[in-house]
Structure 1
Amino acid sequence: MSDNKRYTDALIEFHKERLSSLSNPTMKCEGCQNPRQFVSHQDKLIFTCGSQGSGKCGVQYEITVPHYTYFPQEYNVLSQCIYGHGYSDDIDDVSRYAVETAIQTFEFSKPFQESVKEASEYRKHCDTEREKLVQQYQKLNKEESRIQQVHDVSRIRNTNATKRLKLQKMMKETDDPMQLSQLRKEYVDLFVNEREELYPKIDELTNDVSDDYVVIKQATIDVSNDTYKKTEKKKRKPRKKPPQVTTGS
């Protein structure tokens, strides 16, 4: 099972169980004293059988939701880090300047050399993070597949255009009615085949909108117990039957 499928299944189960408890607030996990609890934090969902800790009636599982970033903005920030764009009024901030070569040629103070070294390492870190970001974006949007689709569309168009020109030339040059009829049929078939083969590919490319939000931290599911799989409902007291009224004869 993929991580995304596991996360989706856990999320659906959490909210399904939560709705069940909302409709029946007295529902408990089997053998537990307190009603089930569903705790929602900013980045975490916790399902317990009413108690704290990791005991039988404690935390059943925790879902840590994924963290996303907006690709264009994050890419721009990392690019500024690498190429030194931006402004800082800190006179010791040399991250904007490529001075690694200069300190090898001229003599500078030890603190300045350390600042240059730190700035160089920071740029390398940003470069690595940007490469990861681009890879995630391409994987998310199947960029290689889209590029191949564009090539396929272009190839089909060029091939069909060449065939059309060839057929048009042959139709102009022939004096044979039978051959002309056959060439016209091939010409029409070419348009029909193009509509069936090419148009769906163009529609797919047109409708396939890129997703600009990239996961920078994957979701996690930590399962501690499975007590919640069996529940107990509070038994309702039987309703008292109203006394029968007898009438004398």
Structure 2
Amino acid sequence: MRTSVPNPVPNLVHDRASAKRHPHHDAPDTADDFRRLAALPPGPRRDALRARIVEAWLPMADRLAGRFRDRGEYTDDLRQVAALGLVKAVDRYDPWLGKAFESYAVPTITGEIKRHFRDHMWTLHVPRRVQELRNRVRVACRELSQAGSAHHPAVADIARHTGLSEEEVREGLLALDSFSALSLDAQTAGSENGYSLSDALGSPDPALDTVVDRESVKAGLAALPERERTILYMRFFQDMTQSRIAEQLGISQMHVSRLINRCCERLRQQALKETA
């Protein structure tokens, strides 16, 4: 008696097609859901189906976020950015184009994470070209160090490894320090008394405000008689009182006052004439 055995070929073909269509375990089969989503009008039913699709693909978004760990950003924040990219991919995906959702969603989510690093993680803003140089130099340094180099790779080694010029490598190395910045309240290395970076900063020089005024009257001062120049120097540069100037020059204080007023008015008028 011959017993009929189910043909395993169709199931095998189906399994192979599924494996090819979904190479990752976190890639659910939501093709029918996407077609229904595209046909539904706006409303609660569509919102519920959209939320179910997003939830089904969240494991894939988390996996993609994990690729960017150890880059200075919290994992939870990366997962949120990846979830945002997933939502954008779901909203923009067109199932009628014949392209698998995963092949569309992966670059969308990855691009969203990279934009997050580019736009929000740099303390100092640098051009995108410099950011790309930094990434290439950073990867090259890691690869050269893993290759057995006992010291930090030299600029020439990095240039040969990346195909960049040495000038571009130096620019990328400088950008490595631009990703994050120290607080001005951070204590400087080797200081024992709480000396911070802000303590090393200079303050505005009040004398800068008088530079233009001094330059504008320089020619007029040179044209004054010697006694008038001496009186102005003693009054405004040596901070002497009018009585002391009068005593030292052997003239009255009233005379000193008149000379100072007359000289200042003359210099003022000459400066205004030159700037008019």
| Higher share of residues assigned helix | 2
Higher relative contact order (CA 8 A, sep 6+): 1
TM-score (norm 1): 0.20
- Return the structure number with greater strand share: 1
